[in-house]
Amino acid sequence: MASSRCCRSSAVCSEAASLQLAQGPVTFEEVAVYFTDEEWARLDPGQRSLYAEVMFDNYKTVTWLESALSAKPHLISWLEEREKDSFLQSAAEKERLSAKADGTVGKIAWEDYFRLESSSSEEEEEENKEEEGVGAEFPPKSVPENIPFLWDNRELGEDSSQLFKYPSFNFQNLSLPKTEPRSLLLLLKFYIQALLSVLHSTMSMFEAYLSGLRRQRRRRELISLAFREQFLRLRRASRLLEKRRNRRRAVLLGVLDNGPLPRRWWVSPATGPNWWETFTLETTEDEKWIEHFRMSRGTLFEIADVLRPKLARQRTIMREAISVEKRVAIAVWWLSNLECYRVVATQFGIGRSTVGEIVLEVCFAIERLLGPQAVCLGDYKEIMNGFKAMGFPHCVGVLDRTHVPYVAPTGQAEESVNRKKCYSILLQGTTDHTGRFINVEVKKNVENIFSRSTLCQAMDAGTFVPGHPTITLGGVEVPPLVLADSTYPMRKWLLTPYEEELEEREKVYNQAFGRCHSLVGRALGRLKGRWQRLTARLPVAEDNVVAVVTACAVLHNICELKGHAVQEGLEASDSIMLPEYDEEPCPYSLRDVRKGERVREAITDFLTENHRS
């Protein structure tokens, strides 16, 4: 490379880089370093190799940043040609290679790479001086005195940023003197750090550009959305105006033609205020009445006749009194489904608050007037014969319990009573062989509900069954029996099934026990199936929950006695009917448990003998 080249470098400090980035992207010429022939001759092969490596790295970096490079720079082309000619192999390298072939290879340190070329570099320097004259002075006269020079190693690391405070300084006339290898490496390191700062600044500007693009795109989206909403608003307004015009035209045409006005919308047939009166007069089939009220017309009117003394209201000059039959129908219809007071009020053509008052009045009347008559033991001999036919002797009932949820009182919504995290009341029911309740206990406080129940106290005293009849099996006196699951404590009159490992005789007992005890589970299922209100939270006050649940049990017995079957698909599932319990076991006495075990053993022997025979 014979043509003379002036020394030229890029201003790579942060201040100059910011000025250049403000004008445009970084080019290769701005980060390239050029040497004159004389300076190039002073470099040994190691320095030349390092210089070529740095220039190639700078070219790759700038090429990545500036994708629009039209042609390869002349310096890169020249370096590639030099590599092809193997200009990095100096005479010293050839001597070491020849020495290696002879087997006399010495140990050469890294610094020796620069010393081996010192003699040849000095000769070339003298020849260049003779041809070109006196070399460039160092430092140049055009450089201000307060600027630290690049060849000063001490000032290079500390005050390197001062070089770029003079943007008018021309680096083209600056030539590099013969320097030590370490100084040259520090110089190249300085240029690399400056290039990295330029790259960081470029990336920051690129991120700012992308952020601006995102904001601009978001602004366009918001503008388009606003235009769209405005367009839809205008479109709806125009459609509404057009519909009003069409409606007015239809009204005008109807008036002129004396014909009926066309419907604007299809409307479901609404229930008129006289739905109850129309249904009573036109519907006589029991199936329709059972579908709406879970009982026939005759049964509902019989209940109304019994409740008339409590529910009859006097007629006033302000309004006609609601009949007792309609009051009973309102309460029964509300209990049979999950509709709210507003729907019931629309169905019967009365006020919503009136519906709430009527429901509570009817439930309290049913509990007081019909409860003692409907929920009772009845003919105990018939009940014992019914259980005996099912395989269990001297039994008068089966016992179980279930939860009925209700709305939590005001200010106590976060408190819970059972594992389902809701307020509930416990319904303990005892049924006969037909599924009719002979005893119902509804308690808000579930603690010791069994030991405090009237059934437990009456059976302990021997007054629940008239005459308290007993039988003797295997020398053991057996009183009237009640069957319950294993969560209840065993007593002389209360039997539970066997658990854990079972013998053959115990399996016979459990089979007969299971056939009879399943009656109470099915009865509770029919109870909640008929009166769907018990499957959800009762929307009544806490003081009125007992009356509503008791009224449902009374109406259940009346329907069972009248033979009104539950419609298919209405029976409650097991998860709703009998949830698991998390209450403490009922307190028990070891003396009562031992008496109950003796009675259970006698019953087991009796059932085993009958099973074998």
Residues 396-405: tens digit of each pLDDT: 999 998 888 8
Alpha-carbon span 21 to 461, nearest angstrom: 104
Please, which pLDDT band fits residue 430 given cuts at 50, 70 and 90?
Answer: very high
Residue 20 is predicted with a pLDDT of: 43
Percent of the chain with pLDDT over 90: 37
b/e burial code for range 127-155 (CB count within 10 A of at least 16 → b): ebeeeeeeebeebeeebeeebbebbeeee
Tokens of 206: 């690129």
Q: Provide the 10 A C-beta neighbour count for residue 210.
A: 10
Select from 111, 115, 176, 168 the least CA-distant residue to 150: 176
Contact status, residue 400 vs residue 487, Cβ threshold 8 Å: no
**pTM for the whole structure:** 0.55
Per residue in 32-46, pLDDT (tens digit) is: 888 888 888 888 888
**How would residue 277 be classed by pLDDT, with cut points 50, 70 and 90?**
confident
Say if residue 353's pLDDT is above 70.
yes
Q: Please state which of the ranges 20-29, 86-95, 110-119, 600-609 shows the lowest mean pLDDT.
A: 110-119
pLDDT for position 432: 94
Is 90 exceeded by the pLDDT of residue 137? no
Measured in degrees and rounded to the nearest 5, phi and psi for residue 389 equal -65, -25
Q: How many CB atoms lie within 10 A of CB 396?
A: 26
Strands (E), 389-500: 395-405, 424-431, 437-443, 471-473, 476-478, 481-483, 494-495
Confidence of residue 585 (pLDDT cuts 50, 70, 90): very low
First-last CA distance in the chain? 125
Phi, psi of 344 (to 5 degrees): -65, -40
Dihedral sign, CA of 200, 201, 202, 203? positive
Phi and psi at 404, nearest 5°, equal -125, 110
The more confidently predicted of residues 352 and 139 is 352
In terms of Cβ atoms closer than 10 Å to its own Cβ (0-12, 13-18, 19+), residue 535 is: middle
In tens, the pLDDT along 500-521 reads 888 899 999 999 999 999 999 9
Condensed to tens digits (0 to 9), the pLDDT of residues 140-183 reads: 433 344 434 333 433 344 444 444 444 444 444 444 455 577 77
Say if residue 580's pLDDT is above 60. no
DSSP structure string for 225-294: HHHHHHHHHHHHHHHHHHHHHHHHHHHHHHHHHT-PPPPSS----PPPTTHHHHHHHH---HHHHHHHHS
Q: For residue 607, what is the enclosing H or E element? A: helix 590-612
As a whole number of angstroms, the distance between CA 48 and CA 122 comes to 16
* pLDDT at residue 112, as a whole number: 45
More confident residue, 383 or 9: 383
Task: Kindly report which listed range (53-67, 109-123, 180-194, 596-610) carries the lowest average pLDDT score.
Answer: 109-123
Rounded CA separation 477/455 (Å): 20
- pLDDT (0 to 100) of residue 587: 59
Provide the pLDDT for residue 388. Answer: 93
Please give the pLDDT value at position 59.
79
Mean pLDDT across the chain, nearest whole number? 76
Degrees to nearest 5, angle at CA 602 with 600 and 608: 100
